[in-house]
Homo-oligomer: A and B are copies of this chain.
């Protein structure tokens, strides 16, 4: 059992994770071509936090906190002068058991909360295997276009593929 100080520290850390994700987090869903899938499309949800190399330790703190996810160098080439790192959770089981329950219990406080709710609803639809039917895929695509419309390059890419998927 945690002592009082540890308990206080734990609560502050919970708050820190929410605040940091409010600032830097991204919930995205891509729908990508995948020949192995029966319908030819795969739904690809991802929780990502990006930081410059100088703040890599903050991503490591997230990884330890959620006890899942990977950290790797971002492949983006943009105007950042230092290497960018991404902490990302892609495994549907981890998203469902760890990430989503955490943010349901500790809600985000910016507009990112709406992105999170949409993201969680896609995971709910995947749980009942909606992503394996054309109709369900269209339903997911309709939700996906509402998430993070402007900000995430992955999303911009996926919104293209979604348009193709939902024709």
Interface of A toward B, CB cutoff 8 Å: 8, 11-24, 51-52, 54-55, 57-58, 61, 81, 106, 109-112, 150
Task: Return chain B residues, CB-CB under 8 Å to A16.
Answer: 15-16, 18-19, 22, 109
Contacts of A24 in B (CB 8 A): 22-24
A20→B58 CA distance, assembly (Å): 12
A contacts with B: majority SS: helix
Bound together, the chains give a CA A110 to CA B55 distance in angstroms of 5
Closest to A51 in B: B110
Question: Once the chains are docked, how many angstroms separate the CA of A52 from the CA of B110?
Answer: 10
Q: Top 3 nearest A-B pairs by Cβ distance?
A: A23-B23, A15-B15, A19-B19
Decide: A52 near B20, CB < 8 A? Known: A11-B8, A15-B14: no
Whole-angstrom distance between the Cβ of A35 and the nearest chain B Cβ: 36
Known pairs A16-B16, A16-B109 / 15 extra A-B pairs, C-beta < 8 Å: A11-B11, A13-B15, A15-B16, A15-B17, A18-B19, A19-B21, A19-B22, A19-B23, A22-B23, A22-B24, A22-B58, A23-B24, A54-B111, A55-B111, A57-B110
Given contacts A20-B20, A21-B19, whether A58 and B110 have CB atoms under 8 Å apart is yes
From B57, B81, B109, B112, A150 is in contact (CB under 8 Å) with: B81
